[in-house]
Amino acid sequence: MSRLKLWTKEEIQYLKDNVNLLTKTEMAKVLNRTYKSIEKKMWEERIKKSGNDWKKWTDKEREFIIKNAEFMTQKELAAHLKRTKSAVQYQIRLMRKKGVHIPKRKPKIKVPKCPNCGNEKLGNVTTFDDLTKTTPDAYYCKECFNEILNSGRVLPPLENKMNGKEKTFQLLDQGIWELSELVRETGLKKRTLSNYRKEYKEKKGAI
Ligand SMILES: [Zn+2]
């Protein structure tokens, strides 16, 4: 009856780090656990979404919305500001009422084409978005090395990131799989490395 799978410190930390960013279903998938077990552990550890909607909105937060509403979904805005989506919606409505111009979100790009250089040879990557602290799926331009999110927002080419990825792949080629070891070797974040490792696996699996 009992399917005991002990929780590691890292897994509990993962819940804490992502409670405001991911759904329980998403976290369950990543941790390869059931929704129920995620729910139970969060209850045991008193891990809750930081419900700081009561907190007064700052000008900085409002500016963030004005600047990014064009590129980010309300869910992404909420995740970044650690507020709920409905609180963000309410704030947008309030600002519009006061005559503040908040641009509508640009429609998703349908034809994968680099908005930067027009190149149509795009690859798929999972990237790390520093702005929202999420790991969205993105296109990757093989010409100008930019990454383009589904929203059309272009992420700047990060030399470090490219090098880091190449380096990670090299290490994986050498059979180094332990995250902690990869962290030591590359200095990259665990989450980034975990995504590279997944990408690597998928690539190798395809051969
Ligand atoms: Zn390009």
User: Taking the model in full, what pTM does it have?
Assistant: 0.37
140 Cα to the center of ligand 1, angstroms = 8
Domain ranges of the chain: 9-44, 160-206
**pLDDT value for 1:** 43
Instruction: Tally Cβ neighbours within 10 Å of residue 171.
Output: 20
**pLDDT of the residue at 126:** 80
Q: What is the DSSP string of 93-142?
A: HHHHHTT---PPPPPPPSS---TTT----EEEEE--BTTTTB--EEEEET
Kindly give the distance from the C-alpha atom of residue 97 to the centroid of ligand 1, in angstroms, as a whole number.
38
162 alpha carbon to ligand 1 midpoint, in Å? 15
Distance 158 CA to ligand 1 centre (A): 14
Which portions of the chain are predicted below pLDDT 50? 1-2
Give residue 197's pLDDT: 93
User: pLDDT by residue (tens digit) across 17-71?
Assistant: 888 778 889 899 999 999 999 999 999 998 887 655 567 889 999 999 999 998 8
